[in-house]
């Protein structure tokens, strides 16, 4: 009896049970790797917390026979995860930032944007074309991509190639490339290939003059309940200031254009000597019509002085109380200004036609 009593006393002395933070994620291997990397960063900040990963399938994971742009759903890869967040089944959710719409459903916010990895697109070639580039592929070679943005830009640049939709997670797409004789190459985000440890499959990196990237590409976003101050404080330490400001500008540009995955919109951002540079473009579906411009803004990232919480601290769905508000607003204004410039020059017509054609096919 006395032995049991001692054990109980020891347990009491060890203090309360570790708090468990439940982290939602998609089930794919890449999603799990990305979530594990975020959890590892959080564990480094909070060694006293425990993290439990809750994996689930989303609509986008289930509908694999239709091009993403045709499904017409803005939250393809996020809805089920947000549902779990809403019902308090998870405390936070890890996403690829490019999957998160620029307008989030009420009650949610992006509480952290982690340091961006390589945002560019990469070409993976069929084994028989290893050593080639898109330029040197044979006439009428078929290149697989699930993205209108990539197809529009690359059709314009490489008119000798044909572009065809390819769906599925990274493992599935690579298997389709290697085992079917349908595709000569496929285009994927370089960051995903890096995270999977498949850099050796990258045959070519596409630079901005060939193919600008998607808004938020290469960055991970952590979504939480907008009013959950405890979680906002917990994940806020993961914000990478430069990535955050670049992505605010990119998301503001896309939101003001009212773009989405049903129209080809692409960006490129850079931060240098206190200047944030944003290049944005829009394309017709076949790439024959396009428009792009570059603007810059001065961004001062000084220590944040918060007088008190604001009514709505969100900008393009992102909450970052630990990053200077002035810098965030400057980044948002840059995105809006560039979108306005393109709209004034006729970008709306290009986007409207692209949307109508995409809906019709």
Residue 99 designated active-site: yes
**Element holding 52 (H helix, E strand):** strand 50-56
Q: What is the pLDDT of residue 325?
A: 93
Which CATH superfamily, name and number, covers 20-118+215-360?
Porphobilinogen deaminase, C-terminal domain (3.30.160.40)
Residues of the chain with CATH 3.30.160.40: 20-118+215-360
Tell me: pLDDT of 360 over 90.
no
Residues 6+ apart with CB under 8 A from 132: 125, 185, 203
CA torsion sign, 167 to 172 to 173 to 177?
negative
Residues of the chain with CATH 3.40.190.10: 121-205
In tens, the pLDDT along 289-337 reads 999 999 999 998 765 555 445 556 789 999 999 999 999 999 999 999 9
Q: Parallel, antiparallel, or unpaired for β 50-56 and 20-26? A: parallel
Chain mean pLDDT for the chain: 88
Tell me: pLDDT of 359 over 80.
no
CA distance to 19, 175, 180, per residue, from 122 (Å): 41, 16, 20
pLDDT tier at 346, thresholds 50, 70, 90:
very high
Both tokens assigned to 263: 């129209």
Tell me: pLDDT of 9 over 50.
no
Overall pTM > 0.85: yes
How far apart are alpha carbons 284 and 28 in whole angstroms? Answer: 32
pLDDT tier at 59, thresholds 50, 70, 90:
low
How far apart are alpha carbons 217 and 190 in whole angstroms? Answer: 9
Catalytic residue among 36, 65, 99, 307: 99
Q: Could you tell me the fold of the domain covering 121-205?
A: D-Maltodextrin-Binding Protein; domain 2 (3.40.190)
User: What would the mean pLDDT of 13-38 be, rounded to a whole number?
Assistant: 84
In tens, the pLDDT along 139-158 reads 999 999 989 999 999 999 99
In tens, the pLDDT along 104-138 reads 999 999 999 999 999 999 999 999 999 999 999 99
List alpha helices for the chain, DSSP H.
2-13, 29-45, 59-62, 68-71, 79-86, 148-157, 170-179, 190-195, 229-236, 241-257, 325-344, 347-360
Core vs surface per residue 146-165: b (16+ CB within 10 A) or e: bbbbbbbbbbbebeebebeb
Tell me: pLDDT of 2 over 90.
no
Q: What is the pLDDT of residue 343?
A: 95
Range from 32-36, 218-222, 236-240, 304-308 carrying the lowest mean pLDDT: 304-308
């Amino acid at each position: 009896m006395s032995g049991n009593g001692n054990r109980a006393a020891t347990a009491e002395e060890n203090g309360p049970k570790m708090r468990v933070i439940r982290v939602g994620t998609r089930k794919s291997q890449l999603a799990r790797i990305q979530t594990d990397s975020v959890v590892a960063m959080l564990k480094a900040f909070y060694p006293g917390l425990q993290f439990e990963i809750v994996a689930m399938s989303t609509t986008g994971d289930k509908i694999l026979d239709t091009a993403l742009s045709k499904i017409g759903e803005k939250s393809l890869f996020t809805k089920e995860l947000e549902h779990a967040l809403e019902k308090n089944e998870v405390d936070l959710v890890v996403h690829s930032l490019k999957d998160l719409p620029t307008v989030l459903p009420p009650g949610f916010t992006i509480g952290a944007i982690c340091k961006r990895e390589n945002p560019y697109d990469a070409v993976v070639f069929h084994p028989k074309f290893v050593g080639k580039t898109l330029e040197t592929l044979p006439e009428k070679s078929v290149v697989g991509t699930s993205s209108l943005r990539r197809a529009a830009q690359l059709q314009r640049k490489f008119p000798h190639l044909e572009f065809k939709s390819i769906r599925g997670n990274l493992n599935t797409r690579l298997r389709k490339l290697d085992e079917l004789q349908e595709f000569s190459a496929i285009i994927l985000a370089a960051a995903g290939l890096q995270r999977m440890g498949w850099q050796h499959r990258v045959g070519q990196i596409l630079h901005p003059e060939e193919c600008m990237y998607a808004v938020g590409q290469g960055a991970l976003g952590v979504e939480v309940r907008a009013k959950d101050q405890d979680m906002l404080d917990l994940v806020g330490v993961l914000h990478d200031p430069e990535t955050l400001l670049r992505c605010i500008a990119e998301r503001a540009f896309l939101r003001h254009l009212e773009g989405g995955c049903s129209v080809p919109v692409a960006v490129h951002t850079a931060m240098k000597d206190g200047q944030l540079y944003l290049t944005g473009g829009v394309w017709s579906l076949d790439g024959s019509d396009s428009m792009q411009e570059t603007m810059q803004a001065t961004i001062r990232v000084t220590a944040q002085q918060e007088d008190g919480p604001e009514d709505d601290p969100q900008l393009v769905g992102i909450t970052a109380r630990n990053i200077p508000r002035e810098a965030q607003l400057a980044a948002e204004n840059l995105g809006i200004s560039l979108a306005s410039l393109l709209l004034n020059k006729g970008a709306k017509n290009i986007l409207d036609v692209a949307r109508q054609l995409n809906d019709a096919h």
